[in-house]
Structure formats: C-alpha cells, structure tokens
Chains A and B, each alone.
Chain A
Amino acid sequence: MKTIKLDKNPLKLVKDVLNDLKASPDLGIYKCVQCGMCASICPGASQTEYDPRDMIRRVLENDETIIDDETIWDCFSCYTCNSICPSGNNASEVNQILRQMSIEKGEGAQKIKDFCAYGDSFMEMGIGSIPNEFFNVMVKDVGNKYMDLKVNIEDIRTDLGLGNYILPKESTDEIEAILDNSGFKVRLEKIKRCKK
C-alpha cells in the first residue's frame, strides 16, 4: 500500500523542477488537473509507455523514482503537450529537467552517451555536425540522397554560393577554450566514461 508519509518536504521534487535553470518562470505544474489532454495527442504516449500526464502526477506526488524511470526517455520534445495544455503547464520542459536530473545522478548519462560525438564535433571544429556513428542510420532513414550530400558537400556549397564552413584555427581554439572553461569538456568526458 502507498502511504503519504509525514514528510517535512512533501513538494521537494516539484520545487526542484521549478527552481531548475531550465524551468520557465510561468511553468504551471501546480495547475495541472490531470485531464490527460497532453497524453491524448502525445506521439510518444501513443507508441510507448511514456505518459506525460502521469509523469506530472508523479512529480507532484514527490515520487522521485520518476527520475530513473525509463519511460521519460521516450519523449520526442515535439512540444505538442505544451501547445495544447489548458492549464498552462509544459510536460516537455518538465521531462527535460527530469532527464537532466537523471544525467546528474549518473543513470541518465548512458542514455545520451551516443550523442557525445556532437560535443566532440563542437570541440574540434567549433560547429555541430551529425557524428559519423549515425551515418548508417541516416542513410537508412534518408536514403542515398544523404550519401550524395555527404560526398558532394563542397560542390553543393559552391553551387549555392556558400563559403567554407571550416572555421579558422584561432576560432576553433577560442571555442574550445570557452567549452573548457565553462565545464562543458569535463561534463562531456564524464558522460563518455559512464557504462552502458
């Protein structure tokens, strides 16, 4: 049986979410009436076990197990829940804050390990690019057009009158210094070290 214990801080989780840097000042978690309108149109909810309404309920009920719940990784960040919510809440945003909490705890890091290559790309070239690890997936999803694009990128850019996208070394050095000093690099390494 579930017990609502005499807890000094029964709203800890919702307060942590609301106090998160990423939380919008008008994030309306408290106003949720559990109507399920978000879940009714959520593509994640229709295909997986993810339920944005239930996620909000668990946050409001201080159920910290939601942070480690696998289902929160099934959100597509399409923000339809936010656009439709009649109570001014934003399940997508709450989801992202919970994921960040999970990453901080360590559990969530493995979920984003594959994306570290994006970070590497920023460190090396100063711009984001689709990592090589995803090349095969992209070819499968987009088709041969993707391969053509990759191979002929220089010519295509020239045809379009676009300049060189490779940044000069002093720029990439500067960007790397910023990413280093801001703690991005350490964070990236930490995520890379986590075990799958």
Chain B
Amino acid sequence: MSKAQLNKNKSNLKIGVFLCRCGGNISDIIDMEKLRLSVKAEVIEEFENLCSINGRKIIRDNIIKKNLDRVVVAACSPITHEKTFQNYVSPLNPYLLEMANIREQCSWVNPDNITATEKAISIVNAAIEKVKYSQPLVPILRKTPNTAAVIGGGISGISASLSLARQGIETYLIEKEPTIGGSMVKVGKLFSPEKLAEECAMCLLNPLVNEAVQNKNINIITNTTLKSAERRAGNFNLLIENKARKVITDRCISCGNCAEVCPVEVKDSWNEGMTIRKAIYKPFSQAVPDVYTIDPENCKKCGKCQDVCRMDAIDLTMEDEIIPMTVGSVVIATGHKTFDMNKRPEYSYGRHKDILTQMELARVMGVNGPTKGELLKPSDGKVPQRVVMIQCVGSRDEKPGGRKYCSKVCCMVAIKHANVIKQHYPDTDVIIGYTDMRTPGMYEKYFKYAQSNEVRLIRGRPGEIEEKDGIFIVRLEDTLSKEPLEIETDLVVLSTAMEPSEGTVDVSNILDVGLTEELFVKEKHSKIKPVATEVEGIYVCGTAQGPKDITDSIVQANAASAKVSELINGGVELEPFVANIDNSKCNLCKKCIDVCKYKAAFIQDNMLSVDPVACVGCGACLWECENNAIEIIGQTDEQILSMITGMLKDKKPDETRIIAFLDSVGYVSADNIGINKINVPSSIRIIKIPSMNRIMPKHLLHAFNMGADGIIMGEYPYNPMYSKTKEKVNGLKQELIKNNINPDRLAFYKVYIPYFRGLANKFNKFNNQIIELGKIGSKIDS
C-alpha cells in the first residue's frame, strides 16, 4: 500500500486500543474507566496483563474479527515489551503497532489519580494519532558479498587475510612493496615475555606467509596501491594500481643472475639503507612472491639483465595496470613508520654513523643483515664497548613534530636488544636512559630478566649527544640521584616513535575513513568498537590504528576478520527507521553528505543513496535539504506533528503542559525515573525522537500553537552528531523569538542513562520555571 493511499484513508482506519492494567501497576493509579471512555477507537479492550498468552488472544481475535488496521497497546515501556506486542499483532505488520507508555512514564511517576489519568489519556491519544500515519515496513536485511580486501601485507594484514580465508571468504591481500611481510621481517628477533627469550621473527612469520600463498581464498597482490574507492550499499568498488614489476612472475626462477650484472647501485631499504642493492632486486631471500623486481625509479634500461636472464623473464616494456575489484568489506592494515630524526637534531642522528635507531640496530644484529648478525659499529666495524639506548625519542613529546603519545613497544624493544647484546657480547656495557619503563603485564618479567642480564638502567631523558675525540658524550640528569651526568659511549641507539605510515593516511582518505588527531585510523568507539571504523564495512587492525606490538596486532587482525565474517554470515537485520530519499526532489547539492558524521549518504549513478546500515535516522540531513527530499521513516513530519497533537489536544485552559522530546538514551533515563518511583510533574509529556537533530522549528511552533507551555529537548552528549544539536538549539531559540515566543520556554539538557535523578530534577525545575513564566501566549511572550 502506498503512502498516498494510506493517508487518504486515515480517517476510516480501524484502530484497536488495548489497555493493560499490569496487575494493578497501572490500574491502581489510573482511572481505567475514565481512560476507556476518553479514547476514540474502533475497539477498546482492557485486560489484567496483556503480555500474557491470554492477552495475545484478545489482541489477535480482535484484529481478525474486527478487521483492525492499526493497534495501540497502552501498557509498559516499549523497551520492555514492544517486541512481544509486535509478535502479538500478527497477521498485522508489526510496524502498525504503537505503544503508549502509561506505566514507567505515567502511573509510576504520578501518584495522583486525576492528573495521572489525564496524562494517560494524552499519551494514548498521541499513540493513536501517530499510528494513523504508520506504514507497514520490513526490517532491513543487509547482504554482504563473500569477499574482502585487506590493505597492507604486514603481520596484521597477513593474519587478517588468513583468518578471513579460513572462514571461506575470498580475500585480496594488497601490498605496496614487492613482497609481503612488513616490518616483522626486518626486526630479526621478537620479544617474548613468557619464555624470557628472544624468538626468531622470520621463523614465526614464514609458516604464515606460506599458508597465505597456498590458501586458495587468498590472492596476494604486491607492488600495488589503492587508487580510488566507491561505496555502494554493502559493496566497495575499488580501483587498485599495480606497478609494473617488469619481471614476469611465472617465469622468474629467482636465480639472481640479473642483479649480478645490473650496474645501478642504490641504498637498500630492507637494511635501513645501511647496505646497497641493485635496481633489479629481491628484497630478501624469503621474499614472497619469490621473484625479482625492477625498481623503475633507478633502472636505466640498459638491458644487461635481459641478456643474462635464461628464462626470458624480463620485460622492460611492461606497464602499470589499473585493476577494478568489488568487495564486501575492507580491512585497513597499512601499518606505521618510524619517527623522522631530522626533527630532533639534538641527537646528531645522520651526522655520525654510530648513532642508530632501534630498527637499524635490529638490522645490524639480524643474521640476514649487513654484518650477518654481528654487533659491529658501522664506522669502524669494531664491537662497541658500550651501547647507550635513549628512550622516548619523538614519543611523549609535545614539541613541534613530536608525538604526544607513548609508542608502547619501545621499552620492550630496547630490553630485547639489550638482552641480545648481553647474551652475545657480555663485555659490552648496555645502559638504557629512560623516563619511565613501561612493561605492563607479563612484560614486567621480561624487564626483570634484562636486569638480571646486567643491563643497566638510568632514569633520565638525555638532552643532547656530543661527539668529542671520537667518542660520544650523552648528557642526561640521573634524576634519582639528582646529578647531571655525562655518559661516554661509542654506540648510541635511539628508540624512535611509531608514527602512522603515509599509506595509512592515503588509504583512509581514499576510503573516507576518519583519522585521529595523530593521523591514525580512528575507531568507531575506542572502548566498545575497537576495530570498526566510521564507515560500515571497513575495519582496521595493527599499527594503522595506533602503536602496538605484534601480539596485539594479531589479536586485532583476528577481531577485524571476525567482524567481516559477522556481516557476511550473520546478515544484519535492522530497524527500518532510516533516511529515505525522494530522488525526484534531490538536486545533488551534497549538503546532507557533508553534515552526516555517520557517512551514511553517498552518490551512486548520479543519485543520492543512503546506506541503511550506517544511517541512524537522526535527521540532521533534513535541516540541510532545501528541497525537502529526505524523510525519516517512522519519524515523518506527519507522525511527529500528530504525536504532538495527541499529547495536547485535550489540554484544559488552567493546565500546564510541557513536551519533552528525548532521544533513546533520554527515554531509557525517563523509564528509570519510573522504575525508581520518583515523582515527576504531571505536566511532562514525553515523546521519543531518535535525535534532537530531527526537531525543526515547525514541530516546536506546532506544539506551542497547540498549547504547550514549555518544551524540553534531551540528548546524550557522546553521540557523533551532538555538536550539531547544540548549534541548532540556538537557531531554534531564534525562531521562537521571531514568533513572539519567549526562548526560555525551550530547554536543552544532556541526558545519561544512570543520571535519571538528575533528569527528574530538571523536569521539576523547568516545570517551576514555566509556571513562573505563565501560560503560553501570556504577556511575557510578546
């Protein structure tokens, strides 16, 4: 049935009203007889407890026998029993039921029979008026395709891909480098709090990489970046750019003859620039895919590699390729980079070869690194007498370019390297200069283990490093003994901060995913939605989301893949109360897209669409839409206006009535007032609205025209649209002034579920304030 047909017949609709006595909870206070006589409907029935099986029979029999079109159940809060009664109205569509909350928000908060009965009448009337405009609806079922893209091939991306693939989800693992593995392949050893030992990173990673290669559900796409993305309900259309490898993957047997003859030498980023590689190269021996790659920036196209390649695998004419793909979900696993030491010249990094970062030290000590695992100073190839490690370099730093946060892993990384040094070079003294050693949980054992290995700790943050006659002087204050200290050393290692990688920022911008102040990917909620992003269907894991170690990255990767799987396998059934677009009125001005913090609106094929999964029906977009092309299903203007009419139409001249628009949090808080039997002024009439953003001047003016003496708006402050709401209240007050209504008749409050007493106090205060102001239309308003 179309909306037009519904509205045409609305005066002839057969409405059944069912009143619940709730075992005296309602009928002890409310005069049921008076309520019954005051309500106009086709059927009015009253029962002891409507939620029982017998109640169900009464409702159903009446719907069938009397051919009812709509049902109002006046009983408890919809939060308690709406689902029950939605089932009871079958064969009627469940959304043609409206509940009138005459228990929590009436009989339990109004001990006075007369005013409580009057209030109950208006609450039931509001429900009757609203239900006339209700439409049969079906819950939205989200169907997500069984495919996912994982962006970033480090340990997080590999773990997420494996978990997705094992659940039968077709996964594209997209990596910008020629090989997957990320930072973990470079670090050599891993810290392990349980075993009090350093484990081989490659030995742990390799089986995972091999499984990823062999798993039929995983397509590893290296040398590739995300170029653009478009979201369509339940789908992401991605364009990825595959940089030409110029080596035919199927032919290359990784013999390395090409690299031997290549005349171009460049710094090898795999060894943090401490060694050189050729323009045709394989990053490291276990690289996956196991093929050589030409670095187009440095290749001179001399063709020498082609001459020696027996497999005819080199094709210098190969061009970059743009590949389109459609996936159901995206996992961002773009990782981190380390702090740019040019920002901290006081540590002389870059001016002296023997001042390293922890990652460079990891390469020096890696068996596949520049010194084959021997701890030798880059300057002279000798074993250092002493290593001084400086913690919090760029982390916990509020100076320009610094990172205000703690990078979380550096204490363990420093301890790991200190342990490895002490095991192999017991004669080398290791000093860690720290501000706080942060080794939470089991890592405390690891910290103690380092102490027992004779690693020395000095509490103080060095301010500068000076070179004097070939040795370094590290200046710090030993803050425990209150002495400025100069430490002589021949090797310095800086524990640099973890920063979001360029890829993290780029990919987030392309996917329209929000970033934190520090440019990490922002979670939807840092406590309860730690891997979801602002965009439905896009998840984040690993260091793209914030500094963390490998363990936490893997935990998060598995959580992200579980979330993808939920969407695919569970399907999501959602209430259909979302924005609905009339495309014949929409002029594609995009103002709604800009205002929506839920990122629910998007343009598809030159038409505005709303992702019903992302939309919460808050109504902020309605304000922006000049052509009235948007409505919120279940909260149409007609429905809101008719509820207001119902609440006020029988108001007596000497009565005060206040309409309280509450969001879902406020509504629960108001129910809590009832559950705790706290009295509320009889003037208060509560109308539930998903967000105060939905309230427009016409609603307020209609309420005042119908005789409301005051209006309250209550909104939970920690929802993404709250700032918009606050702005709007001022605008609403201005509208009231224009219409000669005292703006003090409108109050805006923050609401919280546990602070129901506060809300009750506010109801009381506002009621007194309105009584002082006098009735609507009195002198004070004009």
Instruction: Tell yes or no: A37 within 8 A of B by CB.
Output: yes
- Output the nearest chain A residue to B459 by Cβ-Cβ distance: A36
Q: Contact: B484 with A37, CB < 8 Å?
A: no
Q: How far, in angstroms, from A34 to B460 measured CA to CA in the complex?
A: 8
Least CB distance, A40 to chain B, in whole angstroms: 4
Of listed B396, B461, B462, residue having the most chain A CB within 10 A = B461
Q: How far, in angstroms, from A80 to B653 measured CA to CA in the complex?
A: 75
Q: Contact: B398 with A35, CB < 8 Å?
A: no
Q: Contact: A42 with B484, CB < 8 Å?
A: yes
A106 proximity list for chain B (CB < 8 A) = none
B460 proximity list for chain A (CB < 8 A) = 35-37, 39-40
Q: How far, in angstroms, from A87 to B402 measured CA to CA in the complex?
A: 10
Q: Binary interface profile of A, 35-68, with partner B (CB < 8 Å = 1, else 0)?
A: 1111111100110000101100000000000000
Assuming the contacts A33-B436, A86-B396, asked whether A38 and B482 have C-beta atoms less than 8 A apart, the reply is no
- Output the nearest chain B residue to A84 by Cβ-Cβ distance: B463
Assuming the contacts A45-B484, A84-B346, asked whether A40 and B475 have C-beta atoms less than 8 A apart, the reply is yes
Q: How far, in angstroms, from A37 to B399 measured CA to CA in the complex?
A: 13
B346 proximity list for chain A (CB < 8 A) = 41, 84
B460-500 residues with Cβ-Cβ distance < 8 A to A are 460-464, 475-479, 482, 484-485
Least CB distance, A65 to chain B, in whole angstroms: 16
B463 proximity list for chain A (CB < 8 A) = 37-38, 40-41, 84
Assuming the contacts A54-B482, A84-B463, A86-B398, asked whether A40 and B435 have C-beta atoms less than 8 A apart, the reply is no
Of A28, A40, A88, which is within 8 A of B477 by CB?
A: A40
A63-101 residues with Cβ-Cβ distance < 8 A to B are 84-88
B482 proximity list for chain A (CB < 8 A) = 51, 54
Number of contacting residues on A, CB 8 A?
22
Of listed B346, B402, B482, B484, residue having the most chain A CB within 10 A = B484
Instruction: Tell yes or no: B72 within 8 A of A by CB.
Output: no
A51 proximity list for chain B (CB < 8 A) = 477, 482, 484
Q: Binary interface profile of B, 445-460, with partner A (CB < 8 Å = 1, else 0)?
A: 0000000000000011
Q: How far, in angstroms, from A35 to B396 measured CA to CA in the complex?
A: 11
B435 proximity list for chain A (CB < 8 A) = 33-35
Q: Contact: A45 with B477, CB < 8 Å?
A: yes
Q: Binary interface profile of B, 428-449, with partner A (CB < 8 Å = 1, else 0)?
A: 0000000110000000000000
Instruction: Tell yes or no: B397 within 8 A of A by CB.
Output: yes
Of A31, A35, A42, which is within 8 A of B461 by CB?
A: A35
Q: Contact: B475 with A88, CB < 8 Å?
A: no
Q: Contact: B461 with A37, CB < 8 Å?
A: yes
Assuming the contacts A40-B461, A45-B484, asked whether A34 and B479 have C-beta atoms less than 8 A apart, the reply is yes
Q: How far, in angstroms, from A16 to B478 measured CA to CA in the complex?
A: 29
Number of contacting residues on B, CB 8 A?
23
Q: Contact: A46 with B484, CB < 8 Å?
A: yes
Q: How far, in angstroms, from A36 to B434 measured CA to CA in the complex?
A: 10
Q: How far, in angstroms, from A41 to B346 measured CA to CA in the complex?
A: 10
Assuming the contacts A33-B435, A46-B484, A86-B402, asked whether A40 and B476 have C-beta atoms less than 8 A apart, the reply is yes
- Output the nearest chain B residue to A37 by Cβ-Cβ distance: B461
Assuming the contacts A36-B460, A42-B484, asked whether A53 and B477 have C-beta atoms less than 8 A apart, the reply is yes
- Output the nearest chain B residue to A36 by Cβ-Cβ distance: B477
A42 proximity list for chain B (CB < 8 A) = 484
- Output the nearest chain A residue to B398 by Cβ-Cβ distance: A88
Least CB distance, A160 to chain B, in whole angstroms: 37
Q: How far, in angstroms, from A30 to B460 measured CA to CA in the complex?
A: 18
Q: How far, in angstroms, from A28 to B397 measured CA to CA in the complex?
A: 13
Q: Contact: A40 with B484, CB < 8 Å?
A: yes
Q: How far, in angstroms, from A22 to B397 measured CA to CA in the complex?
A: 25
- Output the nearest chain B residue to A41 by Cβ-Cβ distance: B463
Least CB distance, B482 to chain A, in whole angstroms: 6
B673-724 residues with Cβ-Cβ distance < 8 A to A are none
A53 proximity list for chain B (CB < 8 A) = 477, 479
B398 proximity list for chain A (CB < 8 A) = 28, 31, 85-88
A86 proximity list for chain B (CB < 8 A) = 392, 396-399, 402, 461
B464 proximity list for chain A (CB < 8 A) = 40-41
Interface of B is mostly: loop
Q: How far, in angstroms, from A39 to B459 measured CA to CA in the complex?
A: 12
Q: How far, in angstroms, from A33 to B459 measured CA to CA in the complex?
A: 11
Q: How far, in angstroms, from A54 to B485 measured CA to CA in the complex?
A: 15
B370-403 residues with Cβ-Cβ distance < 8 A to A are 392, 396-399, 402
Q: How far, in angstroms, from A34 to B396 measured CA to CA in the complex?
A: 12
B714-753 residues with Cβ-Cβ distance < 8 A to A are none
Q: How far, in angstroms, from A36 to B397 measured CA to CA in the complex?
A: 14
Least CB distance, A132 to chain B, in whole angstroms: 37
Q: How far, in angstroms, from A53 to B460 measured CA to CA in the complex?
A: 11
Q: How far, in angstroms, from A195 to B158 measured CA to CA in the complex?
A: 76
A34 proximity list for chain B (CB < 8 A) = 435, 479
Q: How far, in angstroms, from A33 to B475 measured CA to CA in the complex?
A: 18
Q: Contact: A41 with B475, CB < 8 Å?
A: yes
Least CB distance, A26 to chain B, in whole angstroms: 10
B477 proximity list for chain A (CB < 8 A) = 36-40, 45, 51, 53
B396 proximity list for chain A (CB < 8 A) = 33, 86-87
Least CB distance, A127 to chain B, in whole angstroms: 37
Q: How far, in angstroms, from A86 to B395 measured CA to CA in the complex?
A: 9
- Output the nearest chain B residue to A87 by Cβ-Cβ distance: B398
Least CB distance, B348 to chain A, in whole angstroms: 13
Q: How far, in angstroms, from A46 to B476 measured CA to CA in the complex?
A: 10
Q: How far, in angstroms, from A42 to B476 measured CA to CA in the complex?
A: 10
Q: How far, in angstroms, from A31 to B399 measured CA to CA in the complex?
A: 13
Q: How far, in angstroms, from A85 to B463 measured CA to CA in the complex?
A: 9
- Output the nearest chain A residue to B393 by Cβ-Cβ distance: A86
Assuming the contacts A41-B463, A84-B346, asked whether A36 and B402 have C-beta atoms less than 8 A apart, the reply is no
- Output the nearest chain B residue to A51 by Cβ-Cβ distance: B482
Q: Binary interface profile of A, 100-143, with partner B (CB < 8 Å = 1, else 0)?
A: 00000000000000000000000000000000000000000000
Assuming the contacts A51-B482, A84-B346, asked whether A36 and B461 have C-beta atoms less than 8 A apart, the reply is yes
A156-182 residues with Cβ-Cβ distance < 8 A to B are none
- Output the nearest chain B residue to A86 by Cβ-Cβ distance: B397
B402 proximity list for chain A (CB < 8 A) = 86
Q: How far, in angstroms, from A54 to B484 measured CA to CA in the complex?
A: 12
Q: How far, in angstroms, from A159 to B533 measured CA to CA in the complex?
A: 71
Least CB distance, B472 to chain A, in whole angstroms: 14
Of listed A36, A51, A84, residue having the most chain B CB within 10 A = A36
A87 proximity list for chain B (CB < 8 A) = 396, 398
Q: How far, in angstroms, from A67 to B461 measured CA to CA in the complex?
A: 26
- Output the nearest chain A residue to B479 by Cβ-Cβ distance: A36
Of listed A33, A37, A51, A85, residue having the most chain B CB within 10 A = A37
Of listed A28, A35, A38, A45, residue having the most chain B CB within 10 A = A35
Least CB distance, B682 to chain A, in whole angstroms: 46
B392 proximity list for chain A (CB < 8 A) = 35, 86
Q: How far, in angstroms, from A86 to B346 measured CA to CA in the complex?
A: 13
B478 proximity list for chain A (CB < 8 A) = 36
B459 proximity list for chain A (CB < 8 A) = 36
Q: How far, in angstroms, from A31 to B396 measured CA to CA in the complex?
A: 11
Least CB distance, B465 to chain A, in whole angstroms: 11
Q: How far, in angstroms, from A86 to B461 measured CA to CA in the complex?
A: 10
Q: How far, in angstroms, from A29 to B353 measured CA to CA in the complex?
A: 37
Least CB distance, A24 to chain B, in whole angstroms: 14
Instruction: Please give the residue numbers on chain B whose beta carbons come within 8 Å of chain A beta carbons, in ascending order.
Output: 346, 392, 396-399, 402, 435-436, 459-464, 475-479, 482, 484-485
| Known pairs A39-B479, A40-B475 / 16 extra A-B pairs, C-beta < 8 Å | A35-B460, A35-B461, A37-B460, A37-B462, A37-B476, A40-B462, A41-B346, A41-B464, A51-B477, A51-B482, A51-B484, A53-B479, A84-B346, A86-B397, A86-B461, A88-B398
The 5 closest A-B pairs by CB, nearest first: A36-B477, A41-B463, A40-B463, A39-B477, A35-B461
What are 29 sample pairs from A and B whose C-beta atoms fall under 8 A apart? A28-B398, A31-B398, A33-B396, A33-B435, A34-B435, A35-B392, A35-B479, A36-B459, A36-B478, A37-B477, A38-B477, A39-B479, A40-B463, A40-B464, A40-B475, A40-B476, A40-B485, A41-B346, A41-B463, A42-B484, A46-B484, A51-B484, A84-B399, A84-B463, A85-B398, A86-B397, A86-B399, A87-B396, A88-B398
